[in-house]
Amino acid sequence: MPRTPRAPFFSLAPDWICEVLSPSTRRWDRVRKLPMYAREKVAHAWLVDPIDKTLEVLRLVDGHWMLVGTHSGEDVIRAEPFDAIELELALLWDDVEPAQEP
């Protein structure tokens, strides 16, 4: 989109989405939202789980999500579509309470 339209909304889908999963929304994000993003042809999706300290990187291929990589902990990664830069995962979890063991 070269210019932001002067309208209350627009229908252009983004190239990338990032969902931060929580215990109350993780199922909804995976089962409902990911198929909707695929239908709208969003090319890349990240699922960030701050409790488990994981990042799942997905790419849309022929209308289906393909897992490109799963990263965790304090890894320093390159993740599409931003693989030109390094991302320090530890910065994402800095203030997150650790998960309680059952």
Concatenating the DSSP letter of every residue in 48-60 gives EETTTTEEEEEEE
Q: Residue 94 pLDDT more than 80? A: no
Contact by Cβ (8 Å): 30, 47: yes
pLDDT of residue 81: 95
**Phi/psi at 63 (nearest 5 deg)?**
80, 5
CATH class for domain 16-93?
A: alpha beta
Q: How far is CA 83 from CA 57, 62, 87, in A?
A: 11, 22, 9
Question: Of residues 8 and 85, which shows the higher confidence score?
Answer: 85
Sorted by where each begins, the domain ranges of the chain are 16-93
How far is Cα 100 from Cα 68, in angstroms, rounded to an integer? Answer: 28
pLDDT of residue 59: 98
Q: What average pLDDT does this structure show over 1-17?
A: 81
Per-residue pLDDT tens digits for 49-85: 999 999 999 999 999 999 999 999 899 999 999 999 9
pLDDT of residue 5: 77
